[in-house]
Amino acid sequence: MTNMITTISEALRRRQNMNATIKALHELSDAELRDIGIYRCNIERVARGLIDIHRTERDAKNKG
């Protein structure tokens, strides 16, 4: 039961973080996005990648 709650909690936290990242990137101008190498059409893919990288680093830190 605890594992299921943890899994659901992690999914909700991931979704909130991804939505916040997507919102922040959409608020940037096209010029600002170009400066950081992101095309507007790739914002969601980039946001998912950032969240996955963060989670991987956090999990590695917690293990060791």
- CB neighbour list of residue 51: distance below 8 Å, 6 or more residues apart: 14, 17, 18, 21
pLDDT given for residue 41 in this prediction: 95
Q: Tell me the pLDDT tens digit for each residue of 3-18.
A: 999 999 988 988 898 8
Q: Report the predicted TM-score, pTM, of the whole model to 2 decimal places.
A: 0.71
Q: Would the pLDDT of 37 be above 80?
A: yes
The Cβ of residue 21 has, within 10 Å, a number of other Cβ atoms equal to 19
Mean pLDDT over the full length of the chain: 89
Share above pLDDT 70 across residues of the chain, in percent, rounded to a whole number: 98
* Average pLDDT rounded to a whole number, residues 46-61: 80
